[in-house]
Chain A
Amino acid sequence: MFSWTRLIAVATKEFLELKRNLLFFVVLVFGPVMFYLLHAYGLPVDVKNLNLGVFDRDKSALSRSLQDTFQNSGIFEIKKIANDEKELITGLALADLRVGLIIPPGFAAELARNSPVIVQALIDGSYPNYALISEGYVAAAVNDFNFNILEQSGNAPLPIDINATVWYNSTFNGNYFMLPGLFGLTLVFFPAIMAALSLTKEKETRSILNFYCCSVTRFEYLIGKMAPYVVIAYLQCLVCFAYAVLVMAVPMRGSLLAFLIASFLFSAVSVGIGLFIAVFITSQAAAILLTTIITLTFTFTYSGILTPVICLSEDNRAIAYLLPVTHYIDIARKVMIKGSSFSDVQGSLLVLLVACLFFYGGSILIFRKRL
C-alpha cells in the first residue's frame, strides 16, 4: 500500500519543478522574507506623529504654552496654525490633519480671572481606534497643562499618584508585540497560497491527469506534493525569527523548542489550509482570491495580530480560539516575550496538531482520483 519511495518521488518532482523555474523559486523563497522585513520595519503600532492643527483665537503667552504642552507630548506634531475654523475643517476633510484644536478668545484672561475655559478638540473619526487614542492623548495634554496651573497656584499635595510598572516590556516597545504577530501573518498567507497554487496549477494545465492514472495513492501524492512547501515555509520562518531576535532585538526568553515545534506545525497547517481550499477548486485565479481573503480577513479580524484577543467581544473570542493562527501567535508571544516554558503552551501546540490532522485528513478524504 503505502510506499515511502513514491512519496519521496512526488516530493522530489515538486521540488525540481520549483527549482527549475528560477524566478518563481526566487520569489517563493525570498518574497515572504522580504514581506516580513518590510513590515517588521515599516508597520508601526504606536500612535505618534498625529498631525495637529491649531486655531488660536487668543494668541497669548498662555495659549502658546498650551500648544507647547501638545508639541512636547511627543505624540502630536503641529502641522498647521489656522487662521479660521474653516481651515481646520478643510485640513480634517483632506486628512492632512487628524486633530484640530480651537483655543477660544480670552483664554489667558479667563484663566487669570480664575474661571474655567472650554477648549474644543475636533478629532478625525476615520479611524475609530486612532480617534479614541487621540482623544486620550488630547485629554492627557490638557490635564498636564491643568496640573501645571494647579502646582503653581498654591501649596497642596497631589491627591493620587500613579505608580505604573509594565511587565515583560517596560518601554512599550511595539516591536515586542508586532514582530511575533507578523510571523503568524507571514506564515498563514504565503505557504497557503503556494500550496493552493501548486495543486490548482496541475488541475488547470491538466498535468494532474498523470497522477490520476498512476499508482501513487492520494495520501502519497498530496503529502509528497506539500512537503517541499512546508520545508520552505519553515526555513523562512527561521530566517524571520533570526531577523527579529538578532536585528530587531526582540528577546527570546522562553522555550526555544516550543517555538520551533509550533512554527513547524503551523507551517504545515498553513500549507494544509491552501491544500484544503485547492481540493475544491480548479481555477488558479479563484484559488488565489479565496485563499487571500480567507487567510487575511480572519487573521486581521480575530487572530490578535492588531487587537489583543482578550479585548475582543465574547463571540469573536470564541471564533478567535478556533483559528490555528491565533494559537500560533499566542505561542510566539508567550514564548518570546513572557518567557513561557514548553508546558505553558502545550495546549496551544495540541490545537495546532489537531488542525494539522484536520486539514490533511480532510483533503485526503475529499480528494478524488477522478476527472
Chain B
Amino acid sequence: MFYKWFNLMKKEYLLFVRNTVLLLVVLYFSTYDIYQTSTNTTDPNFFPLAVYDLDGGAKAQEIVRRFRAPYFYVKTYIKEEAEIKKLIEDGTVSAVITFPEGFAKDLAANKTAKLQIILEGTNSNASEIALGYIQNIISEYNLGLWVARLKAAGVREVGTVELRPLFYSNTTLNEGWLLALQEMYTIITLLGLVLITTAIVNEKQFGTIEQLMISPLKTFEIIVPKVITMMGIILMVVFIALFVVLKPLGVPLAGTIWDLFLITLVYIFTLTGYGLLIATLSSSLSETILISLLIILPILLLSGMYVPVEALSKSIQLLVSFSPLKYYLNLANGVFLKGNSVLFMWQDFCALLMLGVTSFALGLWRFRKAFSQ
C-alpha cells in the first residue's frame, strides 16, 4: 500500500516541480517578497502640519516645538488665511494650528488662551489620532502650568496621576517585524488554499481523474497522498520563508521552533481541509479559483492581521470565528513575539484543530460522493 502511496506522492511532487513558473512564483513569495514587504515600513504618526501664527511670540514657538517628531512634522508656516483652504484642499497638510492674536498675553495674564485647530477629515482615522496627540500634547503642557497657577492662587501642592506606559511583546513597536510575519501568514494561507484546490481541480478539468478512478485505488488513497505532498511542499516554503524572517530580517523567535512547527502543521492541515471542500464545489479551475478568492480575501482582511478582531462588528466576528487564520495568527504571534507555548494557548490550538478535522472530514465525504456517481 505504501508503495502505491509513494508513487502517487512522487507524481504530485514532479507535477509541482515541473511547473517552472509556479515554482518561481512560490520561491519569489517565500524570499524576496517577504523581505521587500518588511522593509516597507510606514510611519503613520508623521502627520504634516501647517502653523498659522498670528501671535508671533516666543510662547507660540515653544508650543510648536512640542509638535515635532515623532508625531508631527511642521511642513510650513502660513502667512495669510486664504492659504489654509488651499493647503488642506490639495492635501499638502492635514492640519493647521492657529495661534490667535494675544495668545501669549492671555497665557501670561492668567486667562484661558484659545488654540485653534483645523483638521482635514477625509483621512478620518489619521485625523482622529492626530487630534488625540494634539490634545495630549496640550494637556501635558496645561498640567504643569495649571498646577503652577493653582499654587499662585494659594492652593498648596496638588497631587496628580502620572502615567508610565510599557509595551508588552513587540516592545519597541517594530513595524517591520510585523509586516514580515503578516506577509508570511498571507503566503501560507494563499498557497495552502490555492495549491491543493488546483491540484485536485486540474485533474478534474483535464479528465486525468478518470485514470485515477479506474486504477486500483480508493478515493481516500487518491486524496491523502495528494494532500500529504502539498502539505510537504508548503512546509518547505514555510521553512524558506522562516529563514528569511529570522535571519536577514531579524525577527526574534521568542518561543520554541517546535511549537511553531506544530501550529503551522495544523494550520496547513486546516487549510487543505478548506481547499478540499472548495475543490468539490466545481470542476472548472477558474471557477474554483474565483470561489476560493472570495473566501480567501475576507480571511486575510478580517482575521485580525490589519484590525484586531474585537474591533469588528459582532455579526462579522461570528463569521470570522470560522476563519482558521484568526487562530493561527494568535498562535503564531504568540510564539514569535510573546514566547508562548502551545499548551498555554490550548484554546486557540484546539479551535484550529477542530476546524481542520471538521473541514477535512467534510471535504473527503463530499469528494467521495462526487466520485461514486
Contact = CB atoms under 8 A, between A and B. Distances in A.
B44 A293 contact: no
Contacts of B111: 157
A48 B313 CA distance: 11
A24 B286 contact: yes
Given A42-B316, A92-B168, A47 B311 contact: yes
A140 B165 CA distance: 12
B313 A42 contact: yes
Chain B, interface size category, equals 35 or more
B32 to A, nearest CB: 11
Contacts of B44: 129, 307-308, 311
Contact of B282 (A23, A115, A172, A316): A23
Contacts of B152: 156
A201 interface: yes
Chain A, interface size category, equals 35 or more
A130 interface: yes
B117 A120 contact: no
B150 A153 contact: yes
Most buried by B among A23, A48, A95, A132: A95
Contacts of B156: 114
Contacts of B294: 27, 31, 34-35
A128 B161 contact: no
Contact of A288 (B107, B147, B293): B293
Contact of B113 (A113, A161, A310): A161
A217 interface: no
B19 A169 contact: no
B173 A125 contact: yes
Interface stretch (A221-229, A276-284, A360-368): A276-284
B43 A311 contact: yes
Contacts of A72: none
Contact of A285 (B119, B153, B195, B344): B195
Interface in A121-169: 121-133, 135-140, 142-143, 145-147, 149-150, 153-169
B165 A296 contact: no
A296 B178 contact: no
A74 B170 CA distance: 26
Interface in A195-213: 197-198, 201, 204-205
Contacts of B154: 154
B124 A45 contact: yes
Interface stretch (A2-10, A241-249, A266-274, A332-340): A332-340
Interface stretch (B242-250, B256-264, B330-338): B330-338
A297 B33 contact: yes
B129 A140 contact: no
Contact of B153 (A136, A156, A170): A156
B297 A189 contact: yes
Nearest to A110: B159
Interface in A75-119: 89, 92-95, 98, 100, 110-119
B117 A159 contact: no
A276 to B, nearest CB: 15
A124 B168 CA distance: 5
Nearest to A169: B121
Most buried by B among A51, A128, A189, A284: A128
Interface string A43-61: 1111111110000000000
Interface stretch (B3-11, B22-30, B212-220, B355-363): B22-30
Contact of A131 (B167, B179, B190, B293): B167
A64 interface: no
A71 interface: no
A271 B23 CA distance: 25
Contact of B162 (A118, A125, A311): A118
Interface string B178-199: 1100010011001100110010
B91 interface: yes
A297 B38 CA distance: 11
Most buried by A among B25, B122, B161, B316: B161
Interface stretch (A173-181, A230-238, A255-263, A349-357): A173-181
A39 B46 CA distance: 27
B21 A286 contact: yes
Contact of B163 (A21, A142, A333): A142
A146 B121 contact: no
A150 B94 contact: no
A323 interface: no
B46 A289 contact: no
Interface string A293-331: 100110011100011101111001000000000000010
B251 interface: no
Nearest to A198: B286
A124 B311 contact: no
Contact of B91 (A98, A281, A310, A316): A310
Interface of A: 21, 23-24, 27-28, 31, 34-35, 38-39, 41-51, 66, 89, 92-95, 98, 100, 110-133, 135-140, 142-143, 145-147, 149-150, 153-170, 172-174, 176-177, 189-190, 193-194, 197-198, 201, 204-205, 281-286, 288-290, 292-293, 296-297, 300-302, 306-308, 310-313, 316, 330, 333-334, 337-338, 340, 344
8 contacts: A24-B287, A113-B159, A126-B337, A157-B149, A163-B117, A167-B118, A286-B24, A296-B186
